[in-house]
Structure 1
Amino acid sequence: MNNQNMIKFENISVVVQGVIHPDITKLTLLSIRKFLPNSKIILSTWNGSEITGLEFDQLVLNQDPGGFNHTNLNKAKCNNVNRLILSSLNGIKAAKTKYVMKLRTDFLLTGNTFLNFFDRYNLTDPNFALFKHKVLACSYFSRNPKKINLAYHPSDIAFFGLKLDLLDLFDINLMPKSDEFYIFENGEWQRKYAPEQYIFISFLRKKGVNVSFSNQFPITKKQIKLTEKYFTSNFIFLEWRFFNLKPPKKLKLYRELDHFSCITYIEWKKLYYKHVIQKPNKFVGFDFERIKLNLVLKYYKLLKIIAKFITFFIFGKNNKKLRKKIRKKITGN
């Protein structure tokens, strides 16, 4: 039991959702047993999955709704938003406890002190609070709409909150194909919303919020302000170290847009004091995460310049595709 906020572990269900990763998912489940003993582990995955040797309390098998593949693009990622919605929703429905944690099958739990944040920032703007209680969510990859053209984009990696709130969040329609293949321009299909946006915007609309926005148009100041207000009255964004999460290796690799456009815990806290407490100038702490990210970004940009110089020196003006391929290998982007 956590002595600071008195949430008993037996009142928590952990919904581990998604595809089974042979080398990781077993460790994911064991980490939950270690740090949330007596909690209920609900594994929500797909029919036909290999589950031999996995440690869980309840199994939810789902019919795979499939993903959206952009066959005309090179090395395109599959959009698995409907898989996320379905496996999360059915896993949460199976929970019998007051609290639910939603976790991917490729993340490890490293502690339980994240529970201390659950009641730390309880004040809300009643005009924007849609949950019964704020939900813990990941700082990575909750987007800052001032840095990237993505409004209403909280991370979907992990959540902790009241069961009824998480059920409310995921009890939405699956994304239609028309939203994924929304506009064809420059030889590529553009989606209307990113997966994370689709989930949150669908939830907002279900709650009667009039959201008029798509990624094909620049974000307005009003949309930025609304995004910040909904974020600060419904979520608490925690970096992985505060959420006690260990990401898979692929998410540790820094990507210019993926990591640097995220809202850090301190940045969320500043927004909380600005929009909820009405103290926009209050000092809320040093943002060491942003300092680290800025240093990494400077290193990345320097590496990119060096990579461009090296490839141009070796290959000259010709072989543009080859130069670009080698630069990506050098920079990791």
Structure 2
Amino acid sequence: MNLEKKICDITVVVQGPVQTFKDRKQEEGITVKCLKSIREHLPGAKIILSTWHGQELQGLDYDQLVLCDDPGQNIRQYKLDGTPRYYNNNRQIVSSSEGLKKVTTKYAMKLRSDNYLTSNDFVMLQKKFQKRCNDYKFLQERVVMSNVFARQYSKGHKVAFHLNDFFYFGLTKDLLTLWDLPLVEDFIPTKEQPYHDSHPNYVIDCAQLFWLKALNKFDPSIQLEHLLDNSKAKLKQSDICYANNIIIGEPSDIGLGLCKRFIENSRVSRPKGKCAHIYFFEWQQLYKKHCDSGFNVECSLVEKIEVFIYRLMYTHSLYIEAKFRIMKRKLNWYSTN
């Protein structure tokens, strides 16, 4: 494969605010760093900056600008004290989809404006795993994603359909499938359900929400009732969707750099948080199991042992605690209803 030719057929959609925006703080100079990294690692690629009206654009290096109307924050749940919890789900959908709609190249990347590239390894990685199975084969080609917040475990329990929303690279039409989504409607509390649709269980995570919305375009029966809805059938369904449609890599595997708030004193940058994520070797194991039985998983025994130990220390220890919390929530809920 001619890497230079492939890069010229890529458009990077940098989405999000380029400075502190209403309820969203932004690291000083991070978008400049983001854009410079694209020029360095993807020379010849086109950059579309998809941001909001009123943002300061001076000094930013891009090829095309998309200015979006701010849909505002959305409410997905209410706290036990009755106050709403606000999310930026619709902002991410709008800035991602509006930018991707302007792409004319065969391949595209969705990159947050507060992250940056450290290499172009994702380009070759996207073509490395060619075999696929027939079950849940939704996208035309695999899309490369980061494992940051792509969880294997949450609250000590295995979770299904829990992906990352930072970084996507693949066919433009596949990225549009994943991000041209209906906006999230505000949850309206009722007397029967004053907190969220999943209460007394935990609410579905935002990363699960985006992935499920995309999968429902192909199979509306793919659903989760709550964050820890993890029957064997749903976990298997989730695993096959991962193996057959995406590639999950760690930032160092794909060439992704994270802003300071995700690396300085952040749980996701320490073993305690990282060990809950899906590791690249674990995605390879899914690929081997469901798509290519002859594939040789690239992972050292040391890495596997290290992940196992960290999960014993930090992840599995949360299992019983979460069980008790859920039981307590259910008892409180049913006793008052």
- TM class by smaller structure: 0.7 to 0.9
Offset of residue 104 of structure 1: 0.5
Q: Secondary structure at the match of 1:28?
A: helix
What residue in structure 2 maps to residue 106 of structure 1? 114
CA offsets 1:68-126 (integer angstroms, 9 cap, x no match): 36785899974211111111001000111110011001111111122111111111112
For residues 177-326 of structure 1, what are the structure 2 equivalents within 5 Å?
Answer: 177-178=186-187, 184=195, 192-215=203-226, 218-252=229-263, 253-255=266-268, 258-278=273-293, 284-286=298-300
Q: Report the count of equivalent residues.
A: 296
Q: Secondary structure at the match of 1:172?
A: coil
Asked if the contact 2:144–2:170 (Cα under 8 Å) also holds between the matched residues in 1, the reply is yes
Asked if the contact 2:203–2:226 (Cα under 8 Å) also holds between the matched residues in 1, the reply is yes
Q: Distance in 1 between matches of 2:138 and 2:249?
A: 19
Matched to 1:16, the amino acid is V
Matched to 1:178, the amino acid is F
Q: Distance in 2 between matches of 1:180 and 1:58?
A: 41
Cα separation, partners in 2 of 1:129 and 1:29, compared to 1, 3 Å: same
- Find the partner of 1:173 among 162, 176, 182: 182
Q: Distance in 2 between matches of 1:180 and 1:86?
A: 25
Give the RMSD, CA atoms, in angstroms. Answer: 3.2
Matched to 1:167, the amino acid is L
Asked if the contact 1:180–1:192 (Cα under 8 Å) also holds between the matched residues in 2, the reply is no
Q: Distance in 1 between matches of 2:127 and 2:189?
A: 37
Matched to 1:164, the amino acid is K
- Find the partner of 2:55 among 37, 49, 61: 49
Offset of residue 145 of structure 1: 5.4
What residue in structure 2 maps to residue 158 of structure 1? 167
Q: Distance in 1 between matches of 2:100 and 2:233?
A: 33
Offset of residue 214 of structure 1: 1.9
Offset of residue 230 of structure 1: 0.2
Identical pairs, percent: 31
Unaligned residue ranges in structure 2 (runs of 5+) = 19-25, 316-337
Asked if the contact 1:100–1:162 (Cα under 8 Å) also holds between the matched residues in 2, the reply is yes
Question: TM-score, structure 2 length as denominator?
Answer: 0.77
Matched to 1:269, the amino acid is Q
Asked if the contact 1:143–1:262 (Cα under 8 Å) also holds between the matched residues in 2, the reply is yes
Offset of residue 158 of structure 1: 0.3
- Find the partner of 2:157 among 109, 132, 148: 148
For residues 111-130 of structure 1, what are the structure 2 equivalents within 5 Å?
Answer: 111-130=119-138
Are 1:34 and 2:40 counterparts? yes
What residue in structure 1 maps to residue 29 of structure 2? 23
Are 1:61 and 2:72 counterparts? no
Q: Distance in 2 between matches of 1:131 and 1:180?
A: 36
Unaligned residue ranges in structure 1 (runs of 5+) = 302-333
Task: Name the stretch that deviates more: 125-134 or 209-218.
Answer: 209-218
Cα separation, partners in 2 of 1:273 and 1:25, compared to 1, 3 Å: same
Question: TM-score, structure 1 length as denominator?
Answer: 0.78
Q: Secondary structure at the match of 2:32?
A: helix
CA offsets 1:248-299 (integer angstroms, 9 cap, x no match): 122122357753221000010011111222469x654226666565676788
Asked if the contact 2:146–2:249 (Cα under 8 Å) also holds between the matched residues in 1, the reply is yes
With a CA cutoff of 8 Å and minimum separation of 6, indicate the structure with the bigger relative contact order.
2
Offset of residue 217 of structure 1: 5.5
What residue in structure 2 maps to residue 321 of structure 1? none
Asked if the contact 1:264–1:289 (Cα under 8 Å) also holds between the matched residues in 2, the reply is no
What residue in structure 2 maps to residue 320 of structure 1? none
Asked if the contact 1:149–1:215 (Cα under 8 Å) also holds between the matched residues in 2, the reply is no
